[in-house]
A and B are shown apart, each in its own frame.
Chain A
Amino acid sequence: MDETFTRRRVLGAAVAALVVSPVRPARAAGIFRLGLTPVFLDNDAAVIDGLRLALSRLMGREIELVQRRTYEEVTGLLLEGALDAAWLCGYPYLQHASALELVAVPVWRGRSLYQSYLIAGADDPAAGLPDLRGALHAFSDPDSNSGYLVTVTDLRRMGERVETFFARAIFTYGHRNVVRAVANGLTRSGSVDGYVWEALAKIEPSLTERTRVIARSEWLGFPPICARAGSAGAEPVEALRKALLTMAETPEGQRALSALQLDGFEPADPSLFDGIAARMADLER
């Protein structure tokens, strides 16, 4: 009885959160708000707390990490000023390049680059994207480079369209969700952030073992930390940039980076995202 009520309450609350999703219009003074796109560990409170704690120490101020279901929501919050900075994807950064500035970019396995993986079930015979015609496919987010743009542009290069090539395409709004969808057989294939898949392979091998990478994209610019244009170089974004760049030097920072399986952060140049820009250009053609 109690158990069911609890469950019902939890489900109800989840639905309410999804439907209502209120956005705080004004921000409290002194608190730094950093938006997070649904990265692989967004379901792990310990990782989020570690990151918040490390940044808070380094910046000497309270940090609030703001999570939303979609990239679009986070990007919107940043653009409207509800966030001081946000960890975005290269694709939305490029979509709003004129309004945004790069603060830093993570370093993964020595480089600020990552790939998009096309995955299928572990026992799926598909050898590449062309074999997935008529499949049920899982994308991460319509504003994700690795979880959407790469596959869509690949299809475009094959002269195909998502709507006709796949029997049905769904958005899971999370890279980990894409892996879950494919691993559990909800969809036959999925487009996922290669960094997320590799990280999951270490911490949740039972999940990734049930999937198989059937195609990898070229190396593309790693999702960067962005701020509104003009706010970089001034407080408090400058403090964030310094904190990120020196994160690897503090124990809390190392713990946070280790949880994120990142080496650190480095200054970013817009040219890092030329590959993504090329794909965007393909899409618009």
Chain B
Amino acid sequence: MRLWRHLPLSLRLPLLAAAMMVLVGVVASQQVLRALTRVQDARVRELAQMHVEGLSVALGPLVLRRDIWEIYDTLDRASKGSEGQRMVLTVVADETGHVLAATDPRKVPVDSLISDLARGAAAPGDLTVGSSSPILRLGAPLVYQGRTVGTIVSELDVSDLIAERRHALVILVVGNALATLVLAVAGYVVLRRMLRPLSAIATQMADTSGRPHPIPQAEIPEGDDELTRLAQTYNAMTAAIAAKAEAERRLAERERFVALGRLSSSLAHEINNPLGGLLNATDTIRSFPDRPEIVLQSAELLDRGLRHLRDVVRVTLDHNRVDHGGRNLLPEDFEDLRALIQPEIARLQQRLDWSASIPAAGVAVAAGPVRQIVLNLILNASAAAGQGGHVGMSASVDSKGLDIEITDTGPGMSPSALDRLLTDAPLAPGGGVGLRLARELAMRLGGRILHERREGVTRIRLHVELGGQAADAA
């Protein structure tokens, strides 16, 4: 069975066809032989019936007179006829069971008892040509003018009928075997030809190093049958996949620009805020160069402002670092994220609940993807929560893995947004790709994203098992 499953379709179908042929052949042969048996039985029974009737008519008065010679003479002459070839022995006895005459008197002498012969003899209507014995024994009462005057026992040679049946069997077996062989080979060739496009598609699909390749036009069969359409559909599909990949790449690019734009505006805001203070400080230093306490105060103010700017620049650089996989997740990553999101939270006058219980030594999860996922989810939550809403982020690590939960008090996610976040359903045009990007990154980490909406709060939970993501993250 396992071998069967491993056979190619182009071999299995012809084999199936051959098996069906064999089955049909066997059933048909069975029917033919059965019909032949019926015909032969009917023939033998009819012959036996006529034999008995004919002998009864001819021998009735002779048996009544016990005319041994005439009975013998009649049997002898009858056995010389063509029917005699079948009736190899006929014995006639009187009503007491004593033999009056037989076609072979040496074998069955006059006055011997017929009972031994009559045992096992079948009535004319019950004769059946079996395959075991070439001789059938027929027994019937000799009825003359309505009364039984004796007994007839005959032996029929049916070896020719058995030979005929055996001959028919051989012809059927050989014929069927040849027909099956020819049809199986023809079926194999034809099906193999018909299935070649299918094999080509299978080969192309198996050979996709990275992405599927179309079948060369020359290998697509002409016409408009299923296989042609299949090949064309397959080619169309490969083109669609290529187009989709390209579109996704472009979308991801755009999303990057969008995120970059948002970051840029936040960054400008972040830099702009201290900038006024810093300029003020320089003005103060310029105005009071001779007042050391004011200069010192201003210098400290400048120092704080510049450190803040330095931090902002570092976070931005970190976030945009190309290296996404190499480094483990550290508590500082969450500090960075908080710093990145802060300007947007402040702009929308939202409350941010932030809790990150991450060991100082870090967690064995790639930092880059986690940062991108959390940033996308928080930006999304912030946008959903709207002016004055609440946004929460909590991150924790336990033996089961890393758990990050982002909450917002927004109106809840739309079905299309949930599709993007929780399924692989095709992207509806118009929506962003941030959520889908978060999903794909989570998948690559071997993690999963869960959604829950309870008591007016939307909760998105990212769970990543520790140690399970190494291969995917690499």
Contact = CB atoms under 8 A, between A and B. Distances in A.
Interface of A: 1, 3-4, 7-8, 11-12, 14-15, 18-19, 136, 138, 167-168, 170-173, 177, 180-181, 184-187
A177 B72 CA distance: 10
Contacts of A167: 111
Interface residues of B, number: 28
Contact of A11 (B57, B76, B82, B104): B57
A12 B233 CA distance: 86
Contacts of A19: 61
A185 B50 contact: no
Given A3-B82, A168-B110, A8 B61 contact: no
Contacts of B101: 186
Interface of B: 46-47, 50-51, 53-54, 57-58, 61-62, 68-70, 72-74, 76, 78, 81-83, 101, 104-106, 109-111
A150 B73 CA distance: 25
A39 B61 CA distance: 26
B223 to A, nearest CB: 59
B56 to A, nearest CB: 10
A82 B78 CA distance: 33
Given A8-B53, A8-B54, A185-B106, A173 B111 contact: no
A3 B83 contact: yes
B111 A168 contact: yes
B300 to A, nearest CB: 136
B58 A11 contact: yes
A229 B309 CA distance: 176
Contacts of B46: 1
B74 A4 contact: no
B58 A186 contact: no
A172 B74 contact: no
Contacts, number: 70
B68 A170 contact: yes
Nearest to B110: A136
Contact of A170 (B69, B76, B81, B82): B69
Contacts of A4: 47, 50-51, 54, 83
A171 B110 CA distance: 14
B69 A171 contact: yes
Contacts of B68: 168, 170, 186
Contacts of B110: 136, 168, 186-187
Contacts of A168: 68, 110-111
27 contacts: A1-B46, A4-B47, A4-B54, A4-B83, A7-B81, A7-B83, A8-B50, A8-B54, A8-B58, A11-B54, A11-B58, A12-B58, A15-B62, A18-B70, A19-B61, A136-B110, A168-B111, A171-B69, A172-B73, A173-B69, A177-B73, A180-B76, A181-B69, A184-B76, A185-B104, A185-B109, A186-B72
A1 B49 CA distance: 11
Given A138-B69, A185-B105, A11 B74 contact: yes
A18 B111 CA distance: 24
Contacts of B72: 181, 184, 186
B259 to A, nearest CB: 103
Contacts of B51: 4
A76 to B, nearest CB: 20
A18 B105 CA distance: 24
B54 A7 contact: yes
Contacts of A173: 69
Given A3-B83, A4-B50, A186-B105, A15 B57 contact: yes
B57 to A, nearest CB: 6
Given A180-B76, A185-B106, A186-B68, 7 more contacts: A8-B54, A11-B78, A14-B58, A15-B61, A136-B109, A170-B68, A185-B109
Contacts of A177: 69, 73
B257 to A, nearest CB: 103
A275 B105 CA distance: 36
Nearest to B58: A11
A177 B81 CA distance: 19
B57 A8 contact: yes
Nearest to B69: A172
Contacts of B50: 4, 8
A19 B25 CA distance: 59
Contacts of B53: 8
B115 to A, nearest CB: 20
B151 to A, nearest CB: 18
Contacts of B105: 184-187
